[in-house]
Structure 1
Amino acid sequence: MKFNPGTGMLALCLATVIIGVPASAQTYPTKPIHIVVPLPPGGSNDVLARILAQKMSESFGQPVIVENKPGAAGNIATDFIARAEGDGYSIAVAPNQTVAVNPVLYPRLPFEVSRDLTGITLLGRVPMVLVVSPGKVAATSVAELIALAKANPEKLSYASAGSGSPQHMAAEVFKSMTGTRITQIPYKGSAPALVDLLGGNVDMMFCPINSALPFIRSGKLRALGTSGAKRVELLPKVPTIAETLPNFESDIWIGMVAPAKTPPAIINKLNAELRRSLALPDVQGKLAEQGIYAETSTPQEFTRLIASDQKRWAEVIRAANIKQE
């Protein structure tokens, strides 16, 4: 048989690629995958993890188990993943609070995000909506709220889910950009904060859209603006805050991370599967119903997003003199 140089070279290249990929990555996964969620069941992070777990299980032919490890503002779960084996069988949902805000707010954490974790992909964004208590606040627009706050420094109050929470950070960006003085009333979680807002005990709140939507529709809360770069389909008539306050943006983003020791081939396999799942129309539909908008990235892009957001929130935390509780 005559040797074909082109065929021989192709075979050599394929062999090189196969040899270069560890056997574990070629056969991965061969056992259940565990997705750790740093917050309690029922919230956006949990809903997103469970929808993806089902799709991943169907595709991989292995169980994908969601484990909730709440506590310490998400630091317990993040530390767990930072210490886990880097074999692709323990990964974690990573909202921006746990990997971009907490490392700045809690300087003595037992883990270091840039050293101990690696990004898999961005999963999606959860817009927040600035809502006010209609019985307490007369403002019907962002501009009116800013004018009211400037005319009454430290008279208005906002509810947050605690220091460093997305609600807190969004409000501090709003205050900084508008030059207003609004008092934070921190709570242990979004639920009690929302209850007090509905009860008229606080004036306003940046609230995840899925939590606020029923009360906006019933008239118990008044929506003034959304926190993202574009209007939200669930509230098409509500303007973005950026339409009044240019460049304002403070969405919650959610991604997936793995231990830093995880082989790149496994990271890439997980990235491809998560991006495939998030592109499915039924997945996007289910997420949109919860106010979650699918958005993906390469592992490198997500790792860069974490680093850039750490820098951004460090500046906000220093400027507002935010301390850990």
Structure 2
Amino acid sequence: MISAASRAMLAALALAAATVTAWAQDFPNRPLTIVLPYPPGASTEQVARMVQPILQERLKQPVVIENKPGGNGSIGTMFVARSPADGYTILLTTNALMTIVPHVQAMPFDPLKDFVPLTTAIRGILGLAVNPNVPAKNMAEFIAYAKANPKKVHYGTAGIGSPQHMAGLLLNREAGIDLVHVPYKGGAPAANDAMGGHIQAVIATISSTLGQHSAGRLRIIGIGEKERFAGQPDIQAIAETVPGFEATSWLAFYAPAGTPKAVVDVLNRELVFALSSPDVKKKLFDLGLPAVADKPEELDKRTREDHKLWGDIARQMNVRAE
């Protein structure tokens, strides 16, 4: 026989569940904000601007895009972590902030505890590009060139702890070479120095180097995907020369931890719809940023696996922010 106290507890739980369900069914009833922890012009903004009008039309609410750069991405990220867990403030960020940077420097958030995954937005395909004067037309020739010139081949990246930096470290380890890392405050200045011959190579998303590749100012000789990218089938995957090599970059949406599942489901559904629309998919594909649009549990798995992978590599290679 159920006691009076038990009946009261069950009734309270049922009421709470009903309240959450009713509240979630009313979601959203005011503007939403997508926070970007980077300055204007980054790939996060490109993606946010593409999904914004579709979300507004579908949700019947304004969607505000707000850049909150600073602290190597920690300011905007922490802002979302401390926001109410109601689905009205969400984060669009890079895998670097969620899976790499916390292993390289102290950050004021825990990527695995302070956020709930919504969906992976895109893959940012990483490519190794060289100055045209480098005598290497493919990865095999580049590796031979690097082995013949140990510690003399310099590669630029968007900074210490970036996916590009870690890709270079992984290439050193797997190919048995000794490229020298040169960190920049972004991929653009690194690419500019590679074009100018100040460094021999740059690792960057191909979305930022395809123009220079097409113009002959840089030569992309390999990408970090398991297989060749259908949008640029002439560029080989590094794994064709270095078996098993894979280094990926991605952008994903997260909400503060504690956001109700019903709200997460709404946000996932609408973000996936926007990212999967033919116009958005084509625009992203043409930029070398293929859409992913997966389920929250898939992003959770991706986040945890990459967090462990890059954490292990950061420790093995003793990578620390300067």
The normalised TM-score by structure 1 is: 0.91
Equivalent residue, structure 2, for 1:161: 158
List per-residue Cα deviations over 1:156-201 (Å, max 9, x = no partner): 1110111011211111111110111111111111121111111100
Secondary structure in 2 matching 1:91: strand
- Give the whole-Å Cα distance in 1 for the aligned partners of 2:113 and 2:155: 36
8 Å Cα contact 2:74/2:108 also seen in 1: no
Is 1:118 matched with 2:119?
no
* Displacement after TM superposition at 1:281 (Å): 0.6
The normalised TM-score by structure 2 is: 0.92
| Pairing partner for 1:226 from 214, 223, 226 | 223
Secondary structure in 2 matching 1:113: coil
- Give the whole-Å Cα distance in 2 for the aligned partners of 1:29 and 1:21: 13
Is 1:42 matched with 2:41?
yes
Is 1:256 matched with 2:253?
yes
Equivalent residue, structure 2, for 1:177: 174
What are the within-5 Å matches in structure 2 for residues 144-159 of structure 1? 144-159=141-156
Equivalent residue, structure 1, for 2:85: 86
8 Å Cα contact 1:121/1:302 also seen in 2: yes
Output the amino acid matched with 1:28. F
Gaps of 5+ in 1: 1-14
What are the within-5 Å matches in structure 2 for residues 232-247 of structure 1? 232-247=229-244
Secondary structure in 1 matching 2:209: helix
* Displacement after TM superposition at 1:21 (Å): 4.6
- Give the whole-Å Cα distance in 1 for the aligned partners of 2:221 and 2:51: 32
What are the within-5 Å matches in structure 2 for residues 277-292 of structure 1? 277-292=274-289
8 Å Cα contact 2:222/2:236 also seen in 1: yes
- Give the whole-Å Cα distance in 1 for the aligned partners of 2:101 and 2:182: 19
Is 1:134 matched with 2:128?
no
8 Å Cα contact 1:225/1:240 also seen in 2: yes
| Pairing partner for 1:217 from 192, 214, 218 | 214
Is 1:109 matched with 2:124?
no
- Give the whole-Å Cα distance in 2 for the aligned partners of 1:289 and 1:186: 28
| Pairing partner for 2:318 from 298, 316, 321 | 321
Output the amino acid matched with 2:185. K
8 Å Cα contact 1:44/1:290 also seen in 2: no
* Displacement after TM superposition at 1:289 (Å): 2.2
Output the amino acid matched with 2:173. S
* Displacement after TM superposition at 1:20 (Å): 7.2
* Displacement after TM superposition at 1:41 (Å): 1.7
- Give the whole-Å Cα distance in 1 for the aligned partners of 2:301 and 2:223: 25
Is 1:70 matched with 2:76?
no
- Give the whole-Å Cα distance in 2 for the aligned partners of 1:52 and 1:230: 27
Secondary structure in 1 matching 2:251: strand
8 Å Cα contact 2:159/2:185 also seen in 1: yes
- Give the whole-Å Cα distance in 2 for the aligned partners of 1:292 and 1:239: 17
Is 1:201 matched with 2:177?
no
Gaps of 5+ in 2: 1-13
Output the amino acid matched with 2:21. P
CA RMSD of the aligned region, Å? Answer: 1.6
Runs of 4+ in 1 over 3 A off after TM superposition: 18-21
- Give the whole-Å Cα distance in 2 for the aligned partners of 1:146 and 1:116: 41
